[in-house]
Chains A and B, each alone.
Chain A
Amino acid sequence: MMRDLRLINTISSLVIVYTALNLPFVVWMMRGFFKELPRELEEAAMVDGDSRLGALVRVILPLVTPGLAATAVFCLIVSWNEFLLALVLTQTDAAMTLPVGIAGRVTQYEIKWGVMSAAGVVAMVPILVFALAVQRYLVRGLSLGAVKG
C-alpha cells in the first residue's frame, strides 16, 4: 500500500503508521485524564457563557496538560524505538530511523560494536531532553482546588 502511495522510504509513511499505532492507546490514556476532571467545570464554563469548544480549550485542556505530557512522552518513546515497521518501510539513509540504522551496523563481515554503542547513547539524548522539558507539566495536583475535597 505504501508503495502504491509512493511513500516507501519517506518519513511520512512512518508518521502515518505510528499515528495509527499509538492512537488507540492515546485515546484510552487521555480518556482517563479527562474523566478525572469534575463535570461541573465544563458546565460552569458553559453557564458562564462559553461554548462547548471554548470550555474545552480554555478550561479543560489546560487542566489535562499533565496527561498530555505523559502521553506525549509515551508516544515518543514508542515511535523512537520502533524497529519492525521502520525496517520494512525505509531502506535509504534519508528516511531510516535510528534503530534500523544502528542494526545496519551489523554487517556481513563484522559487527561494529563501537559505532553501535555510541549511536545507542546518542539516540537516548533527544528523549531525555524532551522528557525533561515536559517534566514541569507532569506535576500532579494541578487540578487541586477546583472543587471541595
Chain B
Amino acid sequence: MNVRFQNVTKSFGESKVVDHLDLGVLEGEFVVLLGPSGCGKTTTLRMLAGLEDTTSGDIFIGEERVNDIPTRYRDVAMVFQSYALYPHMTVADNIAYPLVVRKTPVAQIASRVGRAAEMLEIGELLKRKPRELSGGERQRVALARAIVREPRVYLMDEPLSNLDAKLRVQMRGELKRLQHDLGTTTIYVTHDQAEAMTLAHRVAVMRAGKLQQFDTPMNIYNRPANRFVAEFVGSPSMNFLDTTIHETQMLLEASGQSIVLPRSYSAALSRQQRVTLGIRPEYIHVSSETVAGWHTAEVYVTELMGNETFVFLRLGAEKIIARAPAEFRAEMESRVWIKLDVEKALFFDPITGEAIRE
C-alpha cells in the first residue's frame, strides 16, 4: 500500500520535531528515513503507526486518511528498536499474538506461526521464552511477529542497532531479501548510512525535522542536494574546502593552491565568488613521491583498514581524508603529494550549503 505524508508537522511544546513533511512512498517500496538522532525520523514513523498524534497535516495509507484512526485499526506492523517481545510468553505465543487478538481461527494460527518461523529460521525456538534467546534470535522473533499477518505497511525503527557488527550485516541482507519476497511497503528508520544505502529503494534524509532529500541511494551519494546530505552519507565523510573563484581558477583558501575549474561547472561557478568544494576521499589521490603538478600536504595519521588505507592529511589549515591502497605507507608529518580529482568534485554554496549544479 502506498503511504503519503502531506504537510505533516509535529511539535512538542515550542520545538518542531517534524516540520512540514511531504513524503510519498509507493506501493511495495522500501524507504529508509535517514538522519542523526533527534532529526524527527522516529517521530515520523510513530505518527504513521498512530503512537503519536500529528500537530497538523494529513497522513494517508492508500487512499485512507488515518490521522484519527487508532493504532490497532491502522493495520501496520512495527519492529521496535528494543524488539518489545512479550517476556511472559513463549516465542510461539509472541508470534501468534497479532493473530490471537484478531480472533483468527486456532487451526490457522498454528500454520501461519509455523510458516513465519520457518521463513526466519527460528522453528526450533518456538517453545522458548524471550529471555532464553540471544540478541539475534530475539530480532528474528520480532520480525516474525511482524510478518505473521499481512499488514499494509511494515514499520521498522532501527531494528538492527542492537546487534553486533557481523550479525547486523547478515541481518541487513536477510531483511532486504525478506522485503523483496514479501513485496510489502516498508518504512525503515536508521541513523546508519550503510543500512540506508544498502536497503533502500529510496532514502529520505532528514535533519532537524525537515526533509533534506528524497532520492535513490545512488543519487543521494552522487548528487546530494546540500552539504548536510553530502557530509552525512559516505564513510569516511566527504571533504569540504573553501575556495575563491578567479575566472577559470579556484583558489583553495586553506593552502593558497589553485586548481583549474572542471569544465562542466565553469559556467555555474564563474557566477560565484566563493564556493565550497566537496570531494570524497576516494577522489583524492596520494603519492609519497614527487609528482609534477600535484599539491603537497602533510600526513597527520594513517589508518590501515586491511584492504585500503585512510590517510588523514593537513592541507594548509584544513584537515582532509583520502583513501589510498592498502600498500600505501607514510610516516606522520611526512610530506606527500596529492591530486584532487575535480571532475568528480561537488560544489556547494558556502552560505546556504545548497548544491550548485553544473
Question: Which A residues are closer than 8 A to B by beta carbons?
Answer: 38, 40-41, 43-51, 54, 58-59, 62-63, 141-149
Determine if B265 is an interface residue (Cβ-Cβ < 8 Å).
Answer: no
- B residues in contact (CB < 8 Å) with A: 49-51, 70-72, 75-78, 80, 82-88, 97-98, 101-102, 129-133, 135, 138, 145, 155, 162
Assess whether A144 is in contact with B131, with CB atoms less than 8 Å apart: yes
A37's nearest neighbour on chain B, judged by CB, is: B87
Q: How far is the CA of A44 from the CA of B46 in the complex (A)?
A: 11
Q: Which chain B residue shows the least CB distance to A54?
A: B101
Q: Is the CB of A48 within 8 A of B130?
A: no
The reply to whether B135 and A44 contact each other, CB–CB distance below 8 Å, is no
B contact residues around A47 at 8 Å (CB): 49, 51, 71-72, 76-78, 155
- Do B102 and A41 touch across chains, with their CB atoms under 8 A apart? no
User: Residues of B contacting A46 with CB < 8 Å?
Assistant: 50-51, 70-72
Instruction: Please judge, given known A-B contacts A49-B98, A63-B88, whether A145 and B82 are in contact too, CB under 8 Å.
Output: no
Contact indicator B102/A62 (Cβ below 8 Å): no
* CB-defined A-B contacts under 8 Å, sample of 9: A43-B71, A46-B51, A46-B72, A47-B72, A49-B102, A59-B86, A144-B131, A147-B84, A149-B162
Contact (Cβ within 8 A) A51 B72 = yes
Also in contact, A50 and B72, with CB within 8 A (given A62-B88, A63-B88, A145-B132): yes
In this complex, the member of A46, A51, A141 whose beta carbon has the largest number of chain B beta carbons within 10 angstroms is A46
Chain B residues with Cβ below 8 Å from A49 are 72, 75, 98, 101-102
Contact A44 B78 (CB under 8 A): yes
Q: Do A146 and B80 touch (CB < 8 A)? A: no
Give the distance to chain A from B99, nearest Cβ to Cβ, in Å.
9
Point out the residues of chain B lying under 8 angstroms from A146, CB to CB. 82-87, 130
CA distance A141 to B132 in the complex (A): 12
